[in-house]
Structure 1
């Protein structure tokens, strides 16, 4: 549902002019304040669903990194899988989930993907290849920045912070076909996606 900014400005979250039972912006603020009270330092030990976000702003130098949830193990899967949300969760529940994730990221040139000496990027790639949640220890350069951001295309995301160091503390489960495709630098993206989809990987 897309709501005009002008409507939000007139409503101010109290008149429910959009027709929703609760203002999603105010709910997002409440959830991020709760998360802010939980995160006191710059070290987070928790799981990623797995979920890796590659930005587009500033291309060819873009932000890339995992979304970290407040939980560990298989519980993290629900935080980034809309199949668990559809017809089951209310918009309030979905906002609570997404506001509870921290987008830890680093800025990279898109061509640096071919440079294996970047250890941080290698860890991010390993996380993105896993089909199950991956436990991590994430050391940030500063505490997460809490802000309100809704997007008509992407799923809502929580606060952000630049990465200093990232390590995996569990064993990622990587399908053999994914491992094979990732190591093939000559395959085109179009062909790689078709190949993975034909093997039930999407």
Structure 2
């Protein structure tokens, strides 16, 4: 029991409580509840958002995350804009996004599905996506100190980009320049005012680096790699400043 008298909850209880807040019809009986959507066809404007799992590497689960809603969903996958938002609002963003996944090799850079996921990840604006899933997605919540909360997932049968991705010039430049090293590309995007979360997403789909070295990178690893690279660059810059007396 906490100091305020409220009971301590195990991770499963916390997950159920959060789902009950976001999805009032969530059932605690079996721990599974009702499907988030009764349909296997999910469509909506992806923020854009892409997830790449790390288990099974070098075979990884990859796919788009799509909230079946209308309107501007940019904030759903933009952590830089969450500082003034309530945690319930952020969880609502994340739990409303349904991820469709396919298992692919990290070297499947020329696969048509991977190319569509990459185009989505390169986009700077929400892009309409339609997914056909194997089964209706069930309630699910994954929390980590290293990446944003992840909501429902289901095996993906088919994905279609309904809208046209909007790709900014700096992003297009690093994607097309296959002679630019990944570290150089990350620095260039950062100095071009591309949000760090977007740089992480671009790296995860193999959107930067030397041509022969490009590959799919698990989301968690891409977050760590970009943060580490930018930290070293900024530290080097700070060390070059004059000291204050």
Give the TM-score, by structure 2 length: 0.66
Equivalence map 1:26-45=2 (5 Å): 26-30=16-20, 31-32=22-23, 36=34, 39-45=37-43
Q: Conserved in 2, the CA contact under 8 Å of 1:54 and 1:63?
A: yes
RMSD: 2.4
Match of 2:97 in 1: 101
Q: Conserved in 1, the CA contact under 8 Å of 2:36 and 2:138?
A: no
Q: Which runs of 5+ in 2 are unaligned?
A: 27-33, 196-245
Q: Conserved in 1, the CA contact under 8 Å of 2:98 and 2:137?
A: yes
Match of 2:200 in 1: none
Match of 2:6 in 1: 15
Q: CA deviation at 1:163?
A: 1.3
Q: Which runs of 5+ in 1 are unaligned?
A: 1-9
Kindly tell me the number of residue pairs found equivalent between the two proteins.
182
1:59-110 alpha-carbon deviations (Å, 9 max, x no partner): 1111111111132342x112112233212x2222222221111111111111
Q: Conserved in 2, the CA contact under 8 Å of 1:73 and 1:133?
A: no
Q: CA deviation at 1:33?
A: 6.4
For the residues of structure 2 that align with 1:32 and 1:187, how far apart are their CA atoms? 46
Which of 36, 46, 65 does residue 48 from structure 1 map onto?
46
Q: 1:195 to 1:62 in 2, by over 3 A?
A: same
Q: Does 1:199 align with 2:192?
A: yes
Q: Does 1:167 align with 2:157?
A: no
Match of 2:205 in 1: none
Q: 1:100 to 1:186 in 2, by over 3 A?
A: same
Give the TM-score, by structure 1 length: 0.79
